[in-house]
Amino acid sequence: MTPNREEIVQEELMLNLGPQHPSTHGVFRMVLDLQGETIVGVTPYMGYLHRGFEKLAERRTAIQYQPYPDRWDYLAAMFDEMAYIGAGEALLGIQAPRRAQVLRGIVMELNRFASHLLWLGTFLLDVGALSPFLYTFREREMVLDLLMELTGARLTYAYMRFGGVHHDAEDVWLKKVRAGIPYFRQRLSEYRTLIDDNEIFRRRVEHIGIIDGTHALHYGLSGPMLRASGVPWDLRWKRPYGIYAEIPPRIITDLAGDTYARYKVRVEEMAVSLDLLEIFLDLVESGPIMASVPKVVKFPKQETYFAVEGPRGELGVYLVGNGTAYAQRMKIRPPSLFNLQVLSQLLIGHMVSDAVAILGSIDIVLGEVDR
Amino acid sequence: MKALLVALVVGMAIPAVAAFLLWYERRLLARLQVRHGPNRVGPQGLWQSLADIIKLLSKADTMPHTAHPWLFRLAPVMAFLPVFMAFASLPELDPHMNIGILYLSAILSLEVLAILAAGIGSHSKYALLGGLRATAQMVSYEVPLTLALLGPAMAAGSLNLATIVSHQHPLPYILTQPLGALSLFIAGMAEAHRPPFDLTEAESELVAGYHVEYSGVRFALFVVSEYAQLLFLAWLMAVVYLGGGPIWSLGLKILGTVSVVIWLRATLPRIRADQLMALGWKVLIPLTSLNLLWLVAWNL
């Protein structure tokens, strides 16, 4: 007996993705409601990596807290340091000397390049291409070697200090960085010829997870997510800090707002990072790397918000001082968390395979989302 | 008695060759990805697969308590058997099987049952999705696979694979029927769910797809049957389109085909389920039909 068409009950399938799923980039978890393979509902869960960094800022002196920001976003630690140190310097009224400013610029762009390299590899892994992951890790390893030579650590550098940087760069190191740039450029163009027009890749990522500029702004997106939707907003030039004020703007945008646009914006930003590195290397001049800073740093009774353009977007620190060495309150604005808000908006109506690609294109780092 | 002995030897040899292919894939893939691959166990890591098999055999046998007991246990065997049975049609093993192509396409389509059984029997959502995808994929790709095999059968006027080989004497069929050869290659890759058609076990989405709940011997059976299927399809390709030949040239042709398959794995991203269906029905079936029409026109 064949069942009547009305008698067939269609049920939604609830699929749990994460926190141990290989494509959730750490310990993110989302529960998908599926009809067949189509997503009809998304419930994200986070907090598996919560370590209380905001509260720690109230329980550690300003100097003691300096190495902590490295652990927010462990893939782009320089930006976390810059955000915290920058906020602290604004409160204390300290200006880092010029050589330190330039060195900060160099390490940040190196770090942005490394972070985007890791993103490129894992994003393509999410789409199902195995090899790019290993290629980009080879280059990332070289960048990390450079950073390790300067700071002594691969990921958690503790390089920036209130009023400057901790280690001075030797000329040999600067030469090494300069020598690396043409190599990285060549590799980057190699990746682009392999990936950009790959038929399967284009079909997997084009017209997937579209968000327009207005919605992107309303959701508070920033960084490549926002620029891929056609909004030319880059804090490096829109609200310049440090050495960036002297550099002519190079803001990459794309109008499509889909996953492919986000890929293109990030890849082009990697090229911009290399260009900026060359400019910064020309600006290096001899001089001190630390301003004179009091032995005991006490935040005055004021508040400030300082934001830098991290590889994932606007990374801000809201710092309130109370006249002691401890902060009254510190609030982090993690770009990954804000960019993640748009997830359910992007996913609904797409398929499970797209879910992984879209999540990859948001480029989250759970250390930063959960703090 | 002699047939039984041959069957026994072949039955032992296939897993060994499959294990070799597994090692070969890991090494070649590693070279393509600027890695070293397994190189510690034996010369060039050749015994790595053997060590893996011993390790898998000595693992505890686990089964999720929600799984369907006999379906779960049956699935690996069901995956293993049809692939092995398909080898019987190859001319090097049985030159007299005159229903060769009919037999092997019938036997190969049994493979989908195993994956479906694993998908349902595991009582896991990832396995279920993998099983669903596999079913849709294999049912769709049976058609172009069979159509692509029909070309040489028509040209040789026989379903016997040995006859097909002997008809390719001056020119192998890949030169006279390039469309058919291409379709057989693509459809074969999809049939064996090799990347970029590995949606059934898509690591980044479904973790491991239909065999996510399997471990130990049962997992080993799935892996061996997968590589045996790869071996079989490469062999079939070598016989039907590349002109077979003596054992060394046949071996080179098989290894060459397998190398291209591995190379594609290192190069291409994974295709999406609906795009896979579109490729099967809208591209491969017209291509193979065109191949048949071309054959008819050629022979008029």
Instruction: For residues B162-182, give the mean pLDDT.
Output: 80
pLDDT at position B26 over 50: yes
* φ, ψ of residue B82 in degrees (nearest 5): -60, -35
Q: How far is CA B195 from the centre of its chain?
A: 12
Instruction: Give Cβ neighbours of residue A202 (< 8 Å, ≥ 6 apart).
Output: A260
Interface probe, candidates A11, A130, A139, chain B, greatest B C-beta count within 10 A: A130
Report the alpha-carbon distance of residue B1 to residue B7 in Å, rounded. 10
Question: Residue A310: which H helix or E strand, with range?
Answer: strand A303-310
Q: Is A38 on the interface with B (CB under 8 A)?
A: no
What pLDDT is stored for residue B2 in this prediction? 77
Of A11-25, A35-49, A108-122, A213-227, which gets the smallest average pLDDT?
A11-25
Instruction: Kindly state the tokens that stand for A152.
Output: 């002594």
Is the pLDDT at A1 greater than 50? The verdict is no
The pLDDT confidence band at residue A117, using thresholds 50, 70 and 90, is very high
A140 inside 8 A of chain B by CB: no
Identify all chain B residues contacting A30, using CB atoms and an 8 Å cutoff.
Answer: none
Average pLDDT, chain B: 83
Q: Please report residues of B whose CB lies closer than 8 A to that of A126.
A: 204
Residue A1's Cβ-count burial label (10 Å; 0-12, 13-18, 19+) is exposed
The two three-digit tokens of residue A296, written as one number: 């005991």
Indicate the pLDDT class of residue A66, thresholds 50, 70 and 90: confident
A13 touches B: beta carbon within 8 Å = yes
Q: How close is the nearest chain A Cα to the Cα of B274, in Å?
A: 9
User: Could you tell me which of A147, A183, A172, A178 has the C-alpha nearest to residue A283?
Assistant: A178
Cα angle B172, B177, B179 (rounded to 5 degrees) comes to: 135
State how far the alpha carbon of B9 is from the alpha carbons of A364, B4, B19, B79, in Å: 54, 9, 16, 20
pLDDT at residue number A114 = 92
Q: What is the C-alpha to C-alpha distance for residues A180 and A117, in angstroms, rounded to an integer? A: 15
Please, what are the domains in chain A? 51-370 (1.10.645.10)
Confidence of residue A116 (pLDDT cuts 50, 70, 90): very high
Instruction: Provide CB contacts within 8 A for B278, sequence distance 6+.
Output: none
Closest-CA distance, A202 to chain B, in angstroms, reads: 10
The HSE-up count of residue A321 (CA atoms within 13 Å, CB side) is 22
Nearest CA in chain A to B125: A15
A190 to chain B, any CB pair closer than 8 A? The answer is no
Partnered with residue B287 across adjacent β-strands are none
Q: So what's the pLDDT on residue A9?
A: 61
- What residues does A15 pair with on adjacent strands? A32
Mean pLDDT of B261-271: 86
User: Which residue has better confidence, A150 or B192?
Assistant: A150
Size of interface A-B (CB pairs under 8 A): 84
% pLDDT > 70, chain B:
97
Confidence of residue A111 (pLDDT cuts 50, 70, 90): very high
- Residue A249 is classified by DSSP as P
Minimum mean pLDDT among A30-39, A46-55, A166-175: which range? A30-39
Residue A327's DSSP bridge partners are A321
Q: Tens digit of pLDDT for each residue in A284-299?
A: 888 888 888 888 888 8
> Would you say B210 and B122 are in contact if contact means Cβ atoms under 8 Å apart?
yes
Check residue A182 and give its pLDDT. 92
Quick one: pLDDT at residue A7?
62
**Cα A339 from chain centroid (whole Å):** 11
CB pair distance less than 8 Å for A134 and B275: no
Mean pLDDT over each residue of chain A, to the nearest integer: 87
> For B250-267, what is the mean pLDDT?
88
**Mean per-residue pLDDT, A125-134:** 84
Q: What is the torsional sign of CA A230, A236, A237, A238?
A: positive
Tell me the C-alpha distance between A305 and A303, whole Å: 7
Condensed to tens digits (0 to 9), the pLDDT of residues A185-214 reads 999 998 888 888 888 888 888 888 888 888
Average pLDDT over residues A155-182: 88
Q: Does the distance separating the beta carbons of B199 and A204 come in below 8 Å?
A: no
| Least confident window among A138-142, B148-152, B212-216, B218-222 | B212-216
Choose among B116, B130, B126, B63: nearest CA to A16: B126
Give ipTM to 2 decimals: 0.78
Q: Kindly tell me if the per-residue pLDDT of A331 is higher than 80.
A: yes
Long-range pairs for A304-307: beta carbons < 8 A, 24 or more residues apart: A304/A87, A304/A90, A304/A91, A305/A87, A306/A83, A306/A86, A306/A87, A306/A90, A306/A241, A307/A83, A307/A235, A307/A239, A307/A333
Chain A residue nearest residue B35, CA to CA: A134
Q: What is the pLDDT of residues B69-112, one digit of tens each?
A: 888 888 888 888 888 888 888 877 777 778 888 888 888 888 88
Please give the average per-residue pLDDT across A161-181, as a whole number: 88
Q: Which residues of A touch B194 (CB under 8 A)?
A: none
Contacts of A209 in chain B (CB under 8 A): none
